[in-house]
Amino acid sequence: MASMLKSLKLLSDPTRLRILRLLETEALSVAELQEVLGMGQSRISTQLSLLKTEGLVSDERSGKNNIYTCAADPDLMEVARSAAEEVPEVGADAAALQHLLRKRRDSSRAYFDELAGRFGKDYVPGRSWKAIAEALIKVLNYQVVADLGAGEGTLAQLLAQRAEKVIAVDLSPKMVEYGQNLAIQNGLTNLEYRLGDIETPPIDPASLDLAILSQALHHAEHPQRALDAAFRILKPGARLIVLDLLQHNFEEARELYADRWLGFSESDLAAMLVKAGFIHIETIVADREAAPPKFQTLLGIGVRPN
């Protein structure tokens, strides 16, 4: 009886309940639980330790990681499933878990991540990520592209070399004026700057072949609204590219860079893209800075359904 009472007491905590429901579905490492739940390692490890003490989870070593599985009694899990219906985050957890499992199945991703990690470590004259990016932009062909939250418009100007039309949207009148003047000076007649908010961009619905939010989403007051707006202005079958910061704890960014949000986890970004209506969603950590505070760049891609 004492053991059952302790178990029920443990499951009264929503975080432990969420963890147990996830482990009932899939065996996961601490790092994977971090990605799904968007919580810190120490918090998750503490909760797992409590669950393991009462025999509700078990673990086994796999390489460098401990893999955790649900070991709770079936009758207790029936109670846990009923209780989980009262936890609002459980639905989002399930969606985030499915996204994680899709990434797992992409066996080639780990290989290409390793290749990307090696790129640039050994000096090769003339080879750089900047050169590769410039080359790729040269071969991309899009008719109408929007750079949402464009700032001074460096990316928009690069895109204007190939696109039929590029619309750069920014909230700052000075940025818009500066960018438009620069476009005129460089003869980029297909590049148009518009004053506007990324949550309500001044662009006609279903008019874009590609939309890009490059380091803009963490400045939005309501990131979900910005993604919803991007969905509306894309044509069916068109793509959205999001480049932003991976979730971090560098609080000074709010003052230094006027950041509204301290980045996003992969699962959070994927969930927001799903909620906006996008399909064929992919997310990866595309870059890691070596210098403190060691920001990481999160890349997300989604497609508006036909």
Q: Which helix (H) or strand (E) holds 15?
A: helix 14-25
**CATH class for the domain made up of 2-88:** mainly alpha
SS3 159: helix
Contact 66, 29 (CB under 8 A): yes
DSSP character for 165? E
pLDDT, residue 107, reads 60
Give the Cα separation of 250 and 256 in Å (integer): 10
- Residue 218 carries which side chain, given as an amino acid letter? H
pLDDT, residue 1, reads 38
pLDDT, residue 65, reads 85
Contact 161, 187 (CB under 8 A): no
- Domain 109-303 fold is Rossmann fold (3.40.50)
Give Cβ neighbours of residue 67 (< 8 Å, ≥ 6 apart).
27, 28, 29, 59, 60, 61
Each residue's pLDDT tens digit, 234-265: 999 999 999 999 999 999 999 999 999 999 99
Contact 246, 264 (CB under 8 A): yes
- Residue 51 carries which side chain, given as an amino acid letter? L
pLDDT, residue 2, reads 42
Query: Rounded to a whole number, what is the largest CA-CA distance in the chain?
Result: 80
Give Cβ neighbours of residue 1 (< 8 Å, ≥ 6 apart).
none
Mean pLDDT, contiguous 10-residue spans, the chain (306 residues)? 75 93 94 92 94 92 87 90 92 90 71 66 70 74 93 89 94 92 92 96 97 95 97 97 94 92 93 95 88 92 95
DSSP 25-47: H--EEHHHHHHHHT--HHHHHHH
Give Cβ neighbours of residue 58 (< 8 Å, ≥ 6 apart).
52, 68, 69, 71
pLDDT, residue 120, reads 65
| Residue 282 backbone phi and psi in degrees, to 5 | -130, 140
* Number of C-beta neighbours around residue 211 at 10 A: 28
Give the domain ranges of the chain: 2-88, 109-303
